[in-house]
């Protein structure tokens, strides 16, 4: 009876039985950069997906248009705030980000390859982990909260200078075991609704869930400005919300579980353009 109830709950979530086609359109950023928003699936997911599709395609016309122009993209306000922080000294060493990295443009290409294996630390690091390492060990400053405003703004700034570049997250070598752990989490059903990430973003993308159009759950657009809560949202904050929606106990942002999941999910979008900060519902 318990399994039957869970199955009924899960099936009741999806409101449209037939998959809708994602919008056929092209994202050209600031009339200059043509973004890759759909492309052949990378080899490691080609057994389950023919192509990978950015969440941009699953939004309405107005939302997609907002992302195409930085003057209309509210996420860019937070990028500007981070630019000020980039040049502001903090911590016991009297350093700012620009003390080591010059302008934020020097970060071009960084977002595209994270999460990545850090040889010196012997671990897979997300961009947030690397930012806090710099703050603590180079600047002598306090760590930022993993999903806090300062951190999410800075990740958005670093993402913004890589827009248009292809996601290219490495999953072999020492990162492979973490990737495998993330893959296992992606397909594990949890919570009272017994849903996995794949239940929505692989088996039902294109369908409607309540009043929302389910995407493939690609994270190439993070940090994402959500019209729903009028702020930038980080990857792990979104993970936490998704797990919560399955009515399960969630992991903490920055936990090894979410780091592994981010590595796996990011790799599913290899070949798509970096879009952050994007705009979603």
Q: What is the pLDDT of residue 7?
A: 46
Question: Taking a C-beta distance cutoff of 8 angstroms, is the pair 164, 33 a contact?
Answer: yes
Q: What is the pLDDT of residue 12?
A: 42
Q: How far is residue 116's CA from residue 197's CA, in Å, rounded to a whole number?
A: 22
Q: Is 12 left (phi over 0), alpha (psi -120 to 50) or beta?
A: alpha
Q: What is the pLDDT of residue 22?
A: 80
CA 193 to chain CA mean position, Å: 24
- With bands split at pLDDT 50, 70 and 90, how would you rate the model's confidence at 10? very low
Q: Which of 97, 197, 200, 242 is catalytic?
A: 242
| pLDDT tens digits, one per residue of 94-117 | 999 999 998 999 999 999 999 999
| pLDDT tens digits, one per residue of 25-56 | 899 999 999 999 999 999 999 999 999 999 99
Q: What is the pLDDT of residue 182?
A: 98
Q: What is the pLDDT of residue 8?
A: 36
Around Cβ 244, how many Cβ atoms within 10 Å?
12
Q: What is the pLDDT of residue 21?
A: 66
Q: What is the pLDDT of residue 3?
A: 43
Using the predicted structure, report yes or no on whether residue 191 has a pLDDT greater than 50. yes
The arithmetic mean of pLDDT across residues 6-17, rounded, is 45
Q: What is the pLDDT of residue 81?
A: 98
The arithmetic mean of pLDDT across residues 80-97, rounded, is 97
Q: What is the pLDDT of residue 210?
A: 73
Question: Taking a C-beta distance cutoff of 8 angstroms, is the pair 263, 171 a contact?
Answer: yes
Q: Residues of the chain with pLDDT > 90: what percent? A: 88
| pLDDT tens digits, one per residue of 219-235 | 999 999 999 999 999 99
Q: What is the pLDDT of residue 208?
A: 87
Q: For 23, phi and psi rounded to 5 degrees?
A: -60, 130
Q: How far is residue 256's CA from residue 184's CA, in Å, rounded to a whole number?
A: 13
Q: For 167, phi and psi rounded to 5 degrees?
A: -60, 130
Question: Taking a C-beta distance cutoff of 8 angstroms, is the pair 146, 238 a contact?
Answer: no
Q: How far is residue 34's CA from residue 202's CA, in Å, rounded to a whole number?
A: 26
- With bands split at pLDDT 50, 70 and 90, how would you rate the model's confidence at 20? low
The more confidently predicted of residues 112 and 12 is 112
As a residue count, the chain comes to 281
- With bands split at pLDDT 50, 70 and 90, how would you rate the model's confidence at 274? very high
For this structure, is 242 an active site residue?
yes
Q: Is 122 left (phi over 0), alpha (psi -120 to 50) or beta?
A: left
DSSP state of 151: H
The more confidently predicted of residues 16 and 52 is 52
Q: Residues of the chain with pLDDT > 70: what percent? A: 93
Using the predicted structure, report yes or no on whether residue 11 has a pLDDT greater than 80. no
Element (H, E) at 231: strand 231-233
- With bands split at pLDDT 50, 70 and 90, how would you rate the model's confidence at 211? confident
Matching residue, tokens 């759950």:
217
Q: What is the pLDDT of residue 263?
A: 98
| pLDDT tens digits, one per residue of 121-167 | 999 999 999 999 999 999 999 999 999 999 999 999 999 999 999 99
- With bands split at pLDDT 50, 70 and 90, how would you rate the model's confidence at 209? confident
């Amino acid at each position: 009876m318990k399994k039957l109830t869970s199955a009924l709950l899960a099936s009741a979530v999806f409101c449209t039985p037939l998959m809708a086609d994602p919008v056929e359109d092209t994202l050209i950023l600031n009339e200059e950069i043509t973004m890759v928003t759909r492309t052949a699936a990378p080899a490691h997911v080609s057994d389950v997906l023919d192509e990978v599709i950015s969440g941009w395609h699953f939004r309405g016309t107005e939302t997609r248009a907002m992302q195409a122009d930085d003057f209309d993209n509210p996420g860019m306000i937070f990028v500007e705030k981070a630019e000020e922080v980039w040049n502001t000294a903090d911590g016991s060493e009297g350093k700012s980000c620009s003390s080591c990295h010059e302008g934020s443009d020097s970060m071009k290409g960084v977002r595209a390859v994270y999460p990545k294996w850090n040889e010196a630390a012997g671990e897979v690091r997300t961009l947030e982990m690397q930012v806090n390492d710099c703050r603590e060990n180079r600047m002598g400053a306090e760590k930022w909260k993993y999903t806090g405003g300062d951190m999410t703004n800075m990740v958005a700034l670093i993402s913004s200078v890589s827009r248009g570049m292809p996601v290219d997250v490495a999953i072999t070598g020492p990162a492979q075991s973490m990737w495998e752990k993330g893959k296992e989490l992606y397909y594990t059903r949890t919570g009272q609704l017994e849903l996995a990430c794949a239940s929505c973003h692989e088996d039902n993308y294109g369908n409607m869930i309540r009043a929302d159009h389910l995407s493939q759950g690609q994270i190439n657009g993070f940090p994402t400005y959500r019209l729903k809560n009028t702020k930038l949202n980080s990857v792990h904050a979104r993970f936490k919300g998704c797990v919560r929606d399955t009515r399960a106990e969630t992991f903490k942002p920055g936990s090894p579980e979410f780091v592994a999941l981010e590595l796996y999910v990011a790799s599913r979008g290899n070949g798509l353009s970096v879009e952050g900060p994007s705009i979603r519902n």
